[in-house]
């Protein structure tokens, strides 16, 4: 499949040069929180290519190396001479010091973690309006001991005599610490001061402007052709679809495969609420019987995933053929397929151009390569929280915009054992109670997601009323996480757990035990299968 052009969100982006730390994406997000558009570029990109993007400013990120280490990523001094405002952080700061003729030394006084810093000029461009004592997040072994000529030193710590410098004339700035992390108390203010005061940017990048720009671009790309979208009910595909619908209206057809593995109320949310709110033209394929048939007798998790992926492709391809066929009869062939790829996938697969290498795991089985469509990925420059803002701007229902992650194979991988219609009903009922009580307790934002898992092949003895029961346990798996790569179990208050447990065992007849999963990831994954 080909990919249509990358969307364009600003003529003059702020470039975040990634020196190999895990911080570049976070910096890019923080810049955008200041309403300035930013893009991450690898430090291996030639300076000429960076400057050809006509950046409004350049930020040099932290990185794991010492500036002296062999093979340490280097900073081309051309970036500092181009008249573009530059802000270096941590490794980026030291690389600037070195490139401008200052001294970076291995002093033996490394600083790691929260560190007190003294600001010597609270009227300066970076520190205007802030206290002279602040807590900053450090992570350095080497330190700058002499500032480059012409640079004003504006902060120090006990391990870093030159902890910040500023040169308003050349518009070059730097701090030894990480202003992008929350632990640097005034970090966001320092960053905003650089962007708004140092670089003179206006901070007018908003969800409203993003929607306008993307709508125009989708219109231009699509022309009078037809577009297809596989709608899953998740945030990304829903917002992508709403955006394309806003741009080209009924030229878009969405296909929603109801595989019967969604949670209570979710299919209705897509079929009714989403359609009513966005006006999307939706084809619903009721494939519940087909999926159940294909899953009959299967307990192995990997096999279940494969079957669900395969059936999804079969059903979607058939529906796509029907849509394509009828569009062709109308003389408007379907040329495009919408995909809700996000910026982290793009950055992690090596940059802003080319096809994002989406983890197949995170797609319902992935779509086959031989579908002859050109992909449109209108969200490929946006982070998840921005996609949510864009969704709200487009009127996507809040229940979808704020939906927690839910796996493509759905409840199929939350039933340990064979998936049957009856077991799905049991799990849906228990899951609905857990979700309701967690929301009522105001825990939705604190919890990344809370799978409820039915141990369908396990039974235990219980007693209810006067009778002995022999029912199934369900597992509650509330986790807190930043990105699902690692996670910890959420310390849900006992009263909330008690309420969930009581309600599930009272209201779902087949369940006589509720247990809590207290395993972090690693070693446990978030899902049980
Ligand atoms: P694990 O279980 O690997 O899950 O810790 C990490 C995150 O990915 C979600 N997940 C999936 N999402 N298709 C998806 O779209 C899948 O096959 C799949 N498996 C896991 C999981 O819910 C969690 O957010």
pLDDT digits (tens, 9 = 90+) for 410-463: 999 999 999 999 999 999 999 999 999 999 999 998 999 999 999 999 999 999
233 is in an annotated binding site: yes
**What pLDDT does residue 371 have?**
63
Distance, in Å, from the CA atom of 406 to the CA atom of 263, rounded to the nearest integer, reads 9
**What pLDDT does residue 355 have?**
34
Distance, in Å, from the CA atom of 494 to the CA atom of 474, rounded to the nearest integer, reads 17
Start-to-end Cα distance in the chain: 31
Q: Which two tokens stand for residue 148?
A: 């480059």
Do 56 and 87 touch, CB atoms closer than 8 A?
Answer: no
- Exposed, middle or buried, 151 (CB in 10 Å: 0-12/13-18/19+)? buried
Using CA positions, which residue lies closest to atom 4 of ligand 1?
Answer: 526
439 is in an annotated binding site: no
Distance, in Å, from the CA atom of 405 to the CA atom of 61, rounded to the nearest integer, reads 29
Cα 97-103-108 angle, rounded to 5 deg? 110
Pocket test for ligand 1, best of 339, 407, 475, 489 (most atoms within 8 A of CB): 407
Query: Does the annotation count 178 as an active-site position?
Result: yes
Cα–Cα distances in Å, from 118 out to 129, 155, 437? 14, 6, 47
Q: Which two tokens stand for residue 124?
A: 């300066």
**384-393 vs 235-248: helix crossing angle, rounded to 10:** 40
Do 162 and 109 touch, CB atoms closer than 8 A?
Answer: no
Do 116 and 97 touch, CB atoms closer than 8 A?
Answer: no
Cα–Cα distances in Å, from 391 out to 57, 98, 387? 28, 44, 6
For the beta carbon of residue 527, count every other beta carbon within 10 angstroms: 16
Q: Which two tokens stand for residue 247?
A: 């741009």
Strands (DSSP E) contained in 477-525 are 479-480, 488-489, 511-516
Assess whether the region 9-198 and the region 414-516 belong to the same CATH fold.
no
- 361 CA → ligand 1 middle, Å: 7
Catalytic residue among 90, 229, 254, 450: 90
- Exposed, middle or buried, 480 (CB in 10 Å: 0-12/13-18/19+)? middle
For ligand 1, whether the C-beta of 208 sits within 6 Å is: no
For the beta carbon of residue 106, count every other beta carbon within 10 angstroms: 11
- φ, ψ of residue 287 in degrees (nearest 5): -110, 25
Distance, in Å, from the CA atom of 92 to the CA atom of 110, rounded to the nearest integer, reads 16
**What pLDDT does residue 75 have?**
94
275 is in an annotated binding site: no
- 348 CA → ligand 1 middle, Å: 17
Radius of gyration of the chain (CA): 26
Q: Which fold is adopted by the domain 414-516?
A: GMP Synthetase; Chain A, domain 3 (3.30.300)
Domain boundaries, the chain: 9-198, 207-401, 414-516
**What pLDDT does residue 368 have?**
57
Residue 311 three-state SS: helix
113 is in an annotated binding site: no
Look at the pTM and tell me if it is higher than 0.85: yes
Q: How far is CA 361 from the centre of its chain?
A: 15
Do 75 and 85 touch, CB atoms closer than 8 A?
Answer: no
CATH of 9-198, one of 2.130.10.10, 3.90.245.10, 3.90.1170.50, 3.40.50.880: 3.40.50.880
Q: Which two tokens stand for residue 86?
A: 């530059």
For ligand 1, whether the C-beta of 359 sits within 6 Å is: no
Query: Does the annotation count 450 as an active-site position?
Result: no
Distance, in Å, from the CA atom of 242 to the CA atom of 279, rounded to the nearest integer, reads 8
Tell me which residues of the chain have a pLDDT lower than 70. 350-371
For the beta carbon of residue 510, count every other beta carbon within 10 angstroms: 19
Pairing of strands 452-455, 415-416: parallel
**What pLDDT does residue 466 have?**
83
For ligand 1, whether the C-beta of 525 sits within 6 Å is: yes
Catalytic residue among 39, 140, 166, 178: 178
Distance, in Å, from the CA atom of 210 to the CA atom of 365, rounded to the nearest integer, reads 30
Do 387 and 379 touch, CB atoms closer than 8 A?
Answer: yes
Of 321, 322, 324, the closest CA to residue 335 belongs to 324
Q: Which CATH class is domain 207-401?
A: alpha beta
Distance, in Å, from the CA atom of 378 to the CA atom of 211, rounded to the nearest integer, reads 10
Do 231 and 254 touch, CB atoms closer than 8 A?
Answer: yes
CA neighbours closer than 13 Å in the CB half-sphere of residue 164: 28
- 301 CA → ligand 1 middle, Å: 13
Cα 207-263-228 angle, rounded to 5 deg? 50
- Indicate if the alpha-carbon torsion angle 434, 435, 437, 443 is positive or negative: positive
> Looking up tokens 């671009």, which residue turns up?
217
Give the helix/strand (H/E) hosting 16: strand 14-18
Cα 323-324-326 angle, rounded to 5 deg? 65
């Amino acid at each position: 499949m080909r990919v249509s052009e990358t969307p364009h969100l600003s003529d003059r982006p702020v470039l975040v040069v990634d020196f190999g730390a895990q911080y570049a994406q976070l910096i890019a997000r923080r810049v955008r929180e200041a309403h300035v558009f930013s893009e991450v570029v690898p430090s291996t990109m030639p300076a000429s290519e960076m400057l050809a993007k006509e950046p409004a400013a350049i930020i040099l990120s932290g990185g794991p190396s010492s500036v002296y280490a062999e093979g340490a990523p280097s900073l081309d001094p051309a970036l500092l001479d181009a008249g573009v405002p530059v802000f270096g952080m941590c490794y980026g700061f030291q690389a600037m010091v070195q490139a401008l003729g200052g001294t970076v030394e291995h002093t033996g006084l490394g600083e790691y973690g929260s560190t007190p810093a003294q600001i010597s000029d609270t009227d300066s461009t970076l520190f205007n309006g802030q206290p002279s004592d602040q807590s900053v997040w450090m992570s350095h072994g080497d330190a700058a001991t002499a500032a480059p000529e012409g640079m004003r030193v504006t902060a120090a710590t006990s391990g870093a005599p030159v902890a910040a410098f500023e040169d308003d004339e050349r518009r070059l700035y730097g701090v030894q610490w990480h202003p992008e992390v929350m632990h640097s108390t005034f970090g966001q203010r320092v960053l905003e001061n650089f962007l708004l005061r140092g670089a003179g940017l206006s901070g007018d990048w908003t969800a409203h402007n993003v929607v306008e720009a993307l709508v125009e671009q989708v219109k231009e790309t699509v022309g009078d052709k037809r577009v297809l979208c596989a709608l899953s009910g998740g945030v990304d595909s829903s917002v992508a679809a709403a955006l394309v619908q806003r741009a080209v209206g009924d030229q878009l057809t969405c296909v929603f495969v109801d595989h019967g593995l969604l949670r209570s109320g979710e299919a209705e949310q897509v079929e009714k609420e989403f359609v009513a709110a966005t006006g999307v033209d939706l084809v619903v394929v009721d494939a519940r019987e087909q999926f159940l048939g294909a899953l009959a007798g299967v307990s192995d998790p990997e096999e279940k995933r494969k079957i669900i992926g395969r059936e999804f492709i079969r059903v979607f391809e058939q529906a796509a053929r029907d849509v394509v066929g009828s569009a062709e009869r109308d003389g408007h062939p379907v040329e495009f397929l919408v995909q809700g790829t996000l910026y982290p996938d793009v950055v992690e697969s090596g940059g802003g151009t080319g096809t994002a290498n989406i983890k197949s795991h995170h797609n319902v089985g992935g779509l086959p390569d031989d579908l002859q469509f050109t992909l449109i990925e209108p969200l490929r420059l946006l982070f998840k929280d921005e996609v949510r803002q864009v969704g709200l701007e487009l009127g996507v229902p809040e229940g979808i915009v704020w939906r927690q992650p839910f796996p493509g194979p759905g409840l199929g991988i939350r039933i340990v054992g064979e998936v049957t219609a009856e077991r799905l009903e049991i799990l849906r009922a228990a899951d609905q109670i857990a979700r309701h009580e967690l929301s009522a307790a105001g825990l939705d934002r604190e919890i990344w997601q809370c799978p409820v898992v039915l141990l369908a092949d396990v039974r235990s003895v219980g007693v209810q009323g006067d009778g002995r029961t022999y029912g199934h346990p369900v597992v509650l798996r509330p986790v807190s996480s930043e990105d699902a790569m690692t996670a910890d179990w959420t310390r849900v208050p006992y009263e909330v757990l008690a309420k969930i447990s009581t309600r599930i065992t009272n209201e779902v007849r087949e369940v006589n035990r509720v247990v809590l999963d207290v395993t972090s990831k690693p070693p446990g994954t978030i899902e049980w299968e």
